[in-house]
Homo-oligomer: A and B are copies of this chain.
């Protein structure tokens, strides 16, 4: 095989083979779980159908962290959020909610909310911007619940000002509309708002957080709210088939990586800002938001996907540094990718990173 220069067949392959990768928490492989279990006494009892020390302890920890009466561990956010909306709808006998057009429930869940729960969503705001107080106050139809996602992932992780959030929350309370937080990335916005998780969650009736995104766990979610809400959510968890005899592989990994990384959010945020600033200096590239408000942002190219993909794959192979493995089409003739800052970034030699950006800038000018 000597002398055979293996050529990347695609951007994904090039990225996966890169010596360094800028985004994320490292490969999603079995070591992620093995590392956790090495710290756990093997004689520790499994949780059993939502009961037992492993699950109770973590639920209590997360309830305290989120400032809610109770928290319930779920295998997925998809399950947790549909259930939250169903509980609020049942409580008002009104099967209508509102959320952003690019809400996870609208674009990634095969219409589970409609097909399983018969709930009709009203899409608030244009898909390219955040929901505002005005969108909510001008809503003509009754809704049982408003779902807000912070940060709004599909538009680069944007955030409203905290005062606007407070105003939306106050309006919803006044009108008897339940407010649910899709806080899959809640931890990541605390440095921008300079608030605790509990301070943000206090504006919401229910909140979901995830453990496999920036936290980097195997899978799993927490749904938190008052005790009555939490107890109802357990009944629905069983109905959905999520009340597994053992959830400990997800619980233990969620707890481990939460403790490992919750203190790093400020660093990720600062690193994301620095990286976005460097990216914005390259030709025909801009980040969204221009100045990140969390650990994530989108990177937009003023050139079509196929051309940019070739450039990114080449640069990745030539410099050994991967920026992304997944470029997507955007509006006419443009393309973008999502960037999430994590532990990987700190390990990339800064001089090689700078050389990569200089090359990127040059190649993009040649497109």
Contact = CB atoms under 8 A, between A and B. Distances in A.
Interface in A24-81: 27-34, 37, 40-46, 48, 74-80
B34 A30 contact: no
A76 B242 CA distance: 7
Contacts of A45: 27-29
B219 A30 contact: no
A244 interface: yes
Nearest to A52: B28
A241 interface: yes
Interface in A88-102: none
Interface in A204-229: 212, 218-219
Interface stretch (A1-9, A108-116, A122-130, A166-174): A108-116
B238 A109 contact: yes
A248 interface: yes
A254 to B, nearest CB: 12
A112 B242 contact: no
A97 to B, nearest CB: 16
A235 interface: yes
A245 interface: yes
A245 B37 contact: no
A75 B31 contact: no
A82 interface: yes
A91 to B, nearest CB: 15
B242 A75 contact: yes
A110 B240 CA distance: 10
A239 interface: yes
A117 interface: yes
Contacts of A76: 241-244
B42 A28 contact: no
A233 to B, nearest CB: 12
A312 to B, nearest CB: 21
A250 interface: yes
Contacts of A247: 219
A120 to B, nearest CB: 16
A234 B48 CA distance: 26
A9 to B, nearest CB: 17
Contacts of A267: none
A249 interface: yes
A48 B74 contact: no
Contact of A37 (B34, B116, B241, B244): B34
Q: Which 5 A-B pairs have the closest CB atoms?
A: A79-B241, A112-B239, A249-B249, A31-B42, A78-B241
17 contacts: A27-B45, A28-B48, A29-B42, A29-B43, A29-B45, A30-B41, A33-B248, A34-B37, A76-B242, A76-B243, A78-B240, A78-B243, A79-B241, A212-B245, A218-B248, A218-B249, A240-B241
